[in-house]
Chains A and B, each alone.
Chain A
Amino acid sequence: MSTQISIDMSSAIPPFEQVRSQLAALISAGILTPGTRLPTVRDLAADLGIAVGTVTRAYRELEILGLVTSRRRIGTVVAEGAPELVEPLKSAVDRLIEAADATNTPDEDVIAIVQGALLRRNV
């Protein structure tokens, strides 16, 4: 497994949320499959140069969402039955990304468009 996550310390989004959202996205996209062992809290914190508590909080929130399970000895693993993108949604997301690439729309704008559409639906 050589999947990478990154954090931006200058971002307004707190580091724990950046870690949580990227891991959640990787699990939802099926890149991190059920049973995949995540790095230990200390290792990930050391590699990112952030506090251990920050990663602990991100892992705990993923556990509450049912995306990962934490056990002694085994550590944190991607949970069986973690929600994945179902087929019609997956192809729609693929088409959205293709359209964004074709129009050179930055990733942040694509996320803002989707968030805007979700807000409009809920109004």
Chain B
Amino acid sequence: MSTSLVTVLLIVFAAVALFTVVMGIVLTVVVKTDDPSRGAKRRIQVLYSVAALVGLAFAALAAYAFPTIYVNSTEVPGLLAALAPLIAGILFVDIAAIGESFWPRPKGQKRGAYLTRRPALANAGAITQIATVVWATLLVVSLVLFGFIAVKGGEASGRSIAYVSTDPSVSGKSGPFPGWPYGIPMLVLAGVLIVFAVAVLHVIARRPAVSGTTPQSDAQLRRISATNLLKGTQASLAASLAGVLLIAGQSSANAGYWWGTPCMAMSLMVVVAGIIVLVWPSR
């Protein structure tokens, strides 16, 4: 492992630790109100704002440093930059997991509970669920497809695409292209992100009900948490997918493939759709 990679990892861990402490302090100090439902809503807002801040801070840092300073810190050039959106998503989900795991337990001498049966996973808004599934599926399909399309053999094996040419005397490669050297680590991290997100949906469904709320308003609070969680998850997957499509589109367009430009257009559409889902108000 190179020194620069260690530096990046240290920065990431320091950022996570710092923001976790800040989150703990903010959650315990700020969230105090007589209306339990309102207090819980504010807690959810603070938690997911902090989680989003950590994810965005990392993404900003990665966008600046990974494609430039740390571009050659891994064996595959630019691998860190390719993984950055998924790492940011995993950080977001981790912070959410910490906050949801420390949901306040009922206090006081007299306590009540509704005899409601909760589902195994918390229900999120339909749009965020659909977006998460669609981006994840498209990411897997495109990475597998590009893995097979990429040039095999040679110095840039799996990182470039062969030129389209009818003339056998003309040959060449265009890169970077998201073949297996990028695809396999991205598929692994996408899998980790999805597994973590599902685990946090389970934690949200299992956390104690907010005292003094009806089963309906408690279910609504869980829905807000789950929707916020999937908003961040889908944003991470959308950013990864858009990056893959953009890089693949540029290289394939340079190499003379007809689908290069549509790929780049699709990348833009994914970014726009991901942002719309992200800013769409939770109900």
Q: Using a CB–CB distance below 8 Å, which chain A residues touch chain B?
A: 1-10, 26, 32, 37-40, 42-44, 46-50, 75
Contacts and interface: CB of A to CB of B under 8 A. Distances in A.
Interface in B253-277: none
11 contacts: A1-B116, A2-B214, A3-B115, A5-B113, A7-B110, A39-B115, A40-B117, A43-B118, A44-B115, A48-B111, A49-B105
Given A2-B214, A42-B206, A47 B114 contact: yes
B106 A2 contact: no
B207 interface: yes
Given A46-B105, A46-B207, A2 B116 contact: yes
Contacts of A10: 109
Interface string B206-234: 11110000110000000000000000000
Interface in B92-141: 105-118
Contacts of A46: 105, 206-209
Given A5-B112, A42-B206, A48 B117 contact: no
Contacts of B111: 6-7, 9, 48-50
B115 A6 contact: no
Contacts of A5: 112-113, 115
A6 B106 CA distance: 12
A2 B114 contact: yes
A56 to B, nearest CB: 15
Contacts of B118: 39-40, 43
Contact of B215 (A2, A7, A48): A2
Interface residues on B, range: 20 to 34
Interface of B: 105-118, 206-209, 214-215
Contacts of B215: 2
Given A43-B118, A43-B206, A46-B208, A9 B110 contact: yes
Contacts of B114: 1-4, 47
A4 B105 CA distance: 18
B110 A6 contact: yes
A48 B113 contact: yes
Contacts of B117: 1, 37-40, 43, 75
Contacts of A38: 115, 117
Given A2-B214, A7-B110, A39 B116 contact: yes
Contacts of A4: 112-115
B110 A8 contact: yes
A47 B209 contact: yes
Contacts of B112: 4-7, 48
When A and B form their complex, which 9 residue pairs have the shortest distance between CB atoms, in order from nearest? A49-B106, A47-B113, A6-B112, A46-B208, A10-B109, A47-B209, A9-B109, A49-B105, A3-B115
B106 A32 contact: no
B231 to A, nearest CB: 25
A2 B106 CA distance: 19
A40 B110 CA distance: 21
A35 to B, nearest CB: 12
Contacts of A26: 115
Contacts of B209: 46-47
Contacts of A6: 110-113
Nearest to B209: A47
A82 to B, nearest CB: 15
Contacts of B109: 8-10
A117 B172 CA distance: 99
Contacts of A2: 114, 116, 214-215
Given A6-B113, A37-B117, A46-B209, 13 more contacts: A2-B116, A2-B214, A2-B215, A4-B113, A4-B114, A7-B110, A8-B110, A26-B115, A39-B117, A44-B115, A46-B208, A47-B209, A49-B111
